[in-house]
A and B are shown apart, each in its own frame.
Chain A
Amino acid sequence: MLSIFAETKGCLYMQITRLVKSVVSRTTLAIGDGANDVGMLQEADIGVGISGVEGMRAVMASDFAIAQFRFLERLLLVHGHWCYRRISMMICYFFYKNITFGFTLFWFEAYTSFSGQPAYNDWYMSSYNVFFTSLPVIALGVFDHDVSARLCMKYPLLYQEGVQNLLFNWVLILGWMFNGLLSSIIIYLLTANSITGQAFRKDGQVADYSILGVTMYTCVVWTVNCQMALSINYFTWIQHLFIWGSIALWYIFLVVYGSIPSTLSTTAYKVLVEACAPSILYWLTTLLVISALLPLLSYRAFQIRFRPMEHDRIQIQRRRSESLERDVAQSRLSESSETRNSSDLPAEVRIRIDSLKASSRRKNS
C-alpha cells in the first residue's frame, strides 16, 4: 500500500503514519526531505531521509539517507534484499557454528562421566569465536550477494522473499540448528572412534587427551568454515582470504601457542609440531570431515534442482544467459574469421544466433 502526501503540516504527517501503522499493522516506510517530515520519519518503522534542497534535518532524523528520490528503488530492491538475506543467513550460521562446537563438548562429557572437563584447551575455546570463525561471518554479513544489483532491479519479485519472510522462518532456523547437531555428532563419532586406544603413529605412541582435543577441534574448524564456503554464492578475494585464512590461522595458532613454555600452554605444548603433524591418521581424520558437509550439500542440491527459490532461479537463469552470451561472442569471432565456416558451429548455438539476429533485426526496423 502506498500513500503520498504533500505540502501538509508536519504533525499531520506523523498522525497519518500512526494511523496507517495501527490499521494496517505491517512494516511502514516513510520518505521525506524537509523539516516537516521529521515526525513522520521517526514514527514510521523505517524512515528514509533525502538530503538536498530542504537541508539536512530529515537526514539526521532518518534511519537511511539517500541523495535523490529515485534512489529509493535501489535502496529497497537491491540493498533491502541483500541486507535481509545477509542478516538472516548470518544469524542462522551463528547458531549453527556454535551448536556444532558446543555439542562436541557435550558428547565428550558423556565420556568423562560428566565431570565438566572440556575436550579442548582453554585457549582454544576462548579463541573459537574470535579468531577462527569470526572473519568468514563478517565476509558473509558485509559482502555477500546472492543476485547482482542489476538483476535485483530487473526482477523486483525477488523483494517478496523479504516480505514473505522466506529466508528467516522457524523452519530454516531449526533446520540450521539441526544441521549443527548433525555435524557435531558426525565429527565426534568419527574422531573419537578413529583415535581410540591404539597407536596413532608409526612409532607406537598412543593418542592422549590433548591429541584428541586438537583433532576434534581441527575437524570443527574445517567443517564450520567449509559450510560457510558452501552457503555463500559470491567469492571475491576477501571471502577466500577470510575463509581459508581462518583455517590456516588455526594451524599457525597451534604452532605459536605450542611453542610457549609448557607451564603456560599446558596440554597444547608442541602438540601440532611434535605429535599430530607427523601422524597420517590425524590428517586422514581431518579429511573425513567432508562427510559432515554432505548433508547440507545434498539438501541444497536437491532443493535447488527440484524446489528452487526465487533467487536460485535467477542465478540459474543468469548462468544460462552468461553461457549463451559466451557462445554468441565466440561465434561472432569465428564468423569474422574467413577460414571458419558457420556449419562448424553446434546446432544449438546456430539456433540461438539466428534468434538473436532476428530479434535485433526487428528492433532496428
Chain B
Amino acid sequence: MSETNSDRQRRGDRESAFYLFTQQRLPACKPVLTPPWVITIYFLVGFIFVPVGLFTLRASHSVVEIEERYDIECVPSQFRNDKVSYIQDDSVPKNCSLLFKVDKYMKAPIYIYYQLENYYQNHRRYVRSRSDQQLLHGRNFHGTSYCQPLESSNNRPIVPCGLIAWSLFNDTFTFIRGKALLKVNRTNIAWKSDRDHKFGKNVYPFNFQNGTWIGGGKLNPRIPLSNQEDLIVWMRISALPSFRKLYGRIEEDLDVGDYVVVQLMNDYNTYSFGGKKKLVLSTSNWLGGKNDFLGLAYVFVGSSSLTVAIVFMLLHLRSQR
C-alpha cells in the first residue's frame, strides 16, 4: 500500500521536534549503573586523585614557614598576671624582640603575616559595622547608621566609621639580619580592586580614634584611604576566628642558618578576650602557602575509592559464581 499525502504529512509531523518534545520521545541517553561502569568510575577517581594528592602534598611540603607566638613572651614578667592593665598602660614601653632561626633556604619574596587567634572578625555585629559608601565618598555621606556606636564622636563624624576600622591592628615589626636591616616592602599588600574601587582617593581619615576608648591603630590624616594599605588589608573580613593578614614582603633570600631578629611594638590588645598573636614568615608556590590538608584529603578519597572498587569487584565476581 503506497503512502498517501496525508499519511506522509502525518509522518512528517510525527518526526517534528515539537511533536517529539510534547510526546516525550526526544532522543535520549539512558545510562545504567552496571558493575563494569561502577568499577571503572571508582578506579578512575582513584587513579586521578591519588597522584594529584601526592603532587599537592609535595608542593605543600616545599613551602617553608616559620611561626612564633609573641603575645605572652613580650609581656614583662612583672605584668604576667595582669596583662590587660599592661597593654592599656601607655607609660610602659611596649618594645620586644623575637628571634627567628631559618632552617631551610627561603627564596624571595618572603611574605610576612601577623596571625590572630580567637578573634571573631566574622561576628555579625562586627561585619556590619562599616559604611562602604563612606569609605568611597567621605564624610559628606550621612547614611552611616550601621557604624553605631562608632559613627561620630564629639558631635563630629568619624571617617572611617565603624568597629572594623576602629579595631585596626597596630603592632609594628622591623627585621634585622646580622647587622643589616632587611628591607620590607609594604606596598601592594592589599587587593587591587579594594585600592582602586572600594576606598576613595579623595577620602581622608577624620576624627579617627579620638574618643575615650582606643581600639587599635591611628591613621595618618594626610594620606587618602586608598593608600592606607594596612587599613585596607584589615578591613577585608576574615572567614574564621584564626586568621592571618599580610603585613609585607621581604624581597631578599634567607639562607640556612640565618638569624632574623624582629624588633616589634606590642601595642595591640588581644589580652582582654584571650586572643593570641603570632608572627609568620612564609614562602609561597603555585599552590599558595603551607597546608597539607588538601593533599591528604585527595590521597584519602583516592585510596578509599580504589578500596571500594576492589571490594565491589570481588563481591561482584563472587556472587556471579
Interface residues of A (CB under 8 A from B): 111-113, 115-117, 143, 145, 148, 190, 192-213, 233-238, 261-263, 266-267, 269-270, 274-275, 279-281, 284-285, 287-288, 290-291, 294, 297-298, 300-302, 304-306, 315-316, 318-319
Minimum C-beta distance from B321 to chain A (A):
14
Q: Top 3 nearest A-B pairs by Cβ distance? A: A198-B289, A199-B289, A212-B239
Residue contact B284 to A211, C-beta cutoff 8 Å: no
Interface size on B, residues (CB 8 A): 70
Q: 8 A-B pairs, CB-CB below 8 angstroms?
A: A194-B293, A196-B242, A196-B293, A204-B289, A208-B236, A281-B294, A288-B301, A319-B34
Residue contact A209 to B30, C-beta cutoff 8 Å: no
Q: Which residue of B lies closest to A236 (CB)?
A: B26
Given contacts A236-B27, A306-B319, contact A111 B288 (CB under 8 A): no
Given contacts A263-B133, A280-B287, A302-B312, contact A209 B124 (CB under 8 A): no
Q: Which residue of B lies closest to A117 (CB)?
A: B124
Partner of B32, one of A198, A202, A233, A280: A233
**Interface 0/1 of B38-55, CB less than 8 Å to A:** 100100010001001000
Residue contact B301 to A291, C-beta cutoff 8 Å: yes
Which of B27, B122, B133 has the most C-beta atoms of chain A within 10 angstroms of its own C-beta? Answer: B122
Residue contact B294 to A206, C-beta cutoff 8 Å: no
Given contacts A112-B122, A269-B197, A274-B193, contact A288 B127 (CB under 8 A): no
Minimum C-beta distance from B165 to chain A (A):
16
Judge whether B298 is part of the interface by a CB distance below 8 angstroms.
Answer: yes
Residue contact A143 to B24, C-beta cutoff 8 Å: yes
Residue contact B288 to A208, C-beta cutoff 8 Å: no
Partner of A200, one of B242, B289, B304: B289
Which of chain A's residues have a CB closer than 8 A to the CB of B120? 112-113, 115
Which of chain A's residues have a CB closer than 8 A to the CB of B121? 209
Judge whether B136 is part of the interface by a CB distance below 8 angstroms.
Answer: yes
A300 to B27, CA, bound (A): 25
A318 to B32, CA, bound (A): 10
Which of B56, B244, B285, B288 has the most C-beta atoms of chain A within 10 angstroms of its own C-beta? Answer: B288
Residue contact B193 to A197, C-beta cutoff 8 Å: no
Judge whether B227 is part of the interface by a CB distance below 8 angstroms.
Answer: no
Judge whether B58 is part of the interface by a CB distance below 8 angstroms.
Answer: no
Please choose the segment from B91-99, B109-117, B217-225, B258-266 that sits at the chain A interface, where 4 or more of its residues have CB less than 8 A away. B109-117
Given contacts A190-B297, A263-B132, contact A209 B193 (CB under 8 A): no
Which of chain A's residues have a CB closer than 8 A to the CB of B52? 284, 287
Residue contact A288 to B31, C-beta cutoff 8 Å: no
A201 to B285, CA, bound (A): 8
Which of chain B's residues have a CB closer than 8 A to the CB of A291? 297, 301
* Pair count A-B, CB < 8 A: 193
Considering the complex, which residues of chain B in the window 7-28 have a beta carbon less than 8 Å from any beta carbon of chain A? 24, 26-28
Judge whether B249 is part of the interface by a CB distance below 8 angstroms.
Answer: yes
**Interface 0/1 of B288-321, CB less than 8 Å to A:** 1111011001100100110010001001100100
Which of B52, B109, B301, B315 has the most C-beta atoms of chain A within 10 angstroms of its own C-beta? Answer: B301
Residue contact A111 to B241, C-beta cutoff 8 Å: yes
Judge whether B282 is part of the interface by a CB distance below 8 angstroms.
Answer: yes
Residue contact B291 to A198, C-beta cutoff 8 Å: yes
Which of chain B's residues have a CB closer than 8 A to the CB of A280? 286-288
Judge whether B35 is part of the interface by a CB distance below 8 angstroms.
Answer: yes
Residue contact B191 to A205, C-beta cutoff 8 Å: yes
Residue contact B30 to A206, C-beta cutoff 8 Å: no
Which of chain B's residues have a CB closer than 8 A to the CB of A113? 120, 123, 241
Given contacts A209-B122, A301-B33, contact A269 B24 (CB under 8 A): no
Judge whether B184 is part of the interface by a CB distance below 8 angstroms.
Answer: no
Given contacts A196-B291, A306-B315, 9 further A-B contacts (CB under 8 A): A112-B124, A115-B122, A194-B297, A199-B111, A233-B30, A235-B28, A235-B31, A274-B192, A301-B33
A205 to B293, CA, bound (A): 18
Given contacts A263-B136, A274-B192, A288-B301, contact A199 B122 (CB under 8 A): no
Which of chain A's residues have a CB closer than 8 A to the CB of B38? 297, 301, 305
Residue contact A235 to B297, C-beta cutoff 8 Å: no
Which of chain A's residues have a CB closer than 8 A to the CB of B236? 208-209
Considering the complex, which residues of chain B in the window 177-215 have a beta carbon less than 8 Å from any beta carbon of chain A? 191-193, 197-198
Judge whether B243 is part of the interface by a CB distance below 8 angstroms.
Answer: yes
A233 to B31, CA, bound (A): 6
Residue contact B287 to A281, C-beta cutoff 8 Å: yes
